[in-house]
Structure 1
Amino acid sequence: MAIVADDQPISRQDFQRFVTDRGAFVWLVDGVIVAYLLLEQVDGAAHIEQVTVYPEHARQGIGAQLIVVADSWARVRGLPAVTLTTFRDVPWNAPYYERLGFRAFLPGDWGAAMGARMDTEAARGLEAWPRMAMIRPVSKLRTAEAGVHE
């Protein structure tokens, strides 16, 4: 998995696109970013492009709270689901998302954009480890509870 560890961070230009589209969220501790979430719309669903919690702040529920933010982001846009792509067998990837209510999103159910996304990830070398797409219906939690407003 060295390719993942060596993967370059998102470019400033790409990050700015998420900010402009109101799909970038950060988690601060004492004014310092310790986690972030990047969202965009893909095939009529909210897609988690990236959710990252820095290791020294892991296992504190921050990632789960960012998933709640993703859910609320989808809801205010009238989107029915949240999707993501992840490693199938890494414990803090697919098994973690399953505990948060995601399920396998099978290729026959993907739209063209999700298929293209999976192809792009494979071209970057990520197919060396089993990958999968996952989906979770938007919950009934009120949007204001997650602090996401349009």
Structure 2
Amino acid sequence: MKPGRRAFRGMAPEPYRIRMMEPGEAMRLREIDRRAGQLLVDAGHLADAEPLEPGRFIQFLLAHEVFVAERDGKAVGFAASVDLAEILAGEPEAAEGAGCTWLSALSVDPEHGRRGLGSALLQAVVARAGWFFQRAIALSTARDLAFNEGFYAKRGFLAVPAPDRPPALRKRFDAELPPGVDPERRTVMVRWL
């Protein structure tokens, strides 16, 4: 076993493993993101499931810590997180975001869904945030969907109503709002650590 894989040992159900992203996986993760996004299209929350174009997707991955769920050496899911202050660097709201991990993506290939991989990836993000003494994890997600808002609520996340969102969370929410999606159909959620 590679040294980097020990940190998350036991977090995923057998025969899966959680590890950090490795070189050469970007296009596989992009395909997972597209396949998982189709669930939101089918639920009427997105117009299409087309992920970022390859160059922009690679930039996205490089700007984040990327956790991968694998089976037999093949990626089947991933989560991407970053310190909120880092992603808001240069913005007036950046200092306010310090100590908060922002979960930018959590995608599991539907062929491997409903097996605990989303929970395992989220557990890896939470563990990593704890190692760096982060105070919270925040994200934006589709409202009123069991596999989005409901999934996070069952794992200790609380919805933050729009009027109660501090500027750093508002800024990130606005930046991640998918094109053509009504902001009322999405929410910001926070879990305190």
TM-score range, shorter chain: 0.7 to 0.9
Partner of 2:114: helix, strand, or coil?
Answer: coil
Q: Which residue of 2 aligns with 1:59?
A: 114
Cα gap change, 1:97/1:18 in structure 2, threshold over 3 Å: closer, same or farther?
same
Q: How many pairs were matched up?
A: 138
Please report the RMSD computed on the Cα atoms of aligned residues, expressed in angstroms: 2.4
Which residue among 65, 69, 73 is the counterpart of 1:31? 73
* 3-state SS of 1:8 partner: coil
Cα displacement (A) at 1:127: 1.7
One-letter amino acid of the counterpart of residue 53, structure 1: V
| TM-score, with length taken from structure 1 | 0.78
Decide whether the 8 Å contact of 1:46 with 1:73 is kept in 2.
Answer: no
The TM-score normalised by the length of structure 2 is 0.62
Is 1:100–2:155 an aligned residue pair? yes
| Distance apart, 1:111 and its partner CA | 3.5
Which residue in 1 is equivalent to 2:186? 131
> Which has the bigger relative contact order, CA under 8 A and spacing at least 6?
1
CA offset at residue 35 of structure 1? 0.2
Deviation at 1:37, TM superposition (A): 0.5
Name the counterpart of 1:145.
none
Unaligned runs of 5+ in 2: 1-40, 85-96
| 8 Å Cα contact 2:65-2:82 kept in structure 1 | yes
Unmatched runs of 5 consecutive residues or more in structure 1? 139-150
User: Identity of aligned pairs, percent?
Assistant: 28
Secondary structure of 2:144's match? coil
Aligned position for 2:138: 83
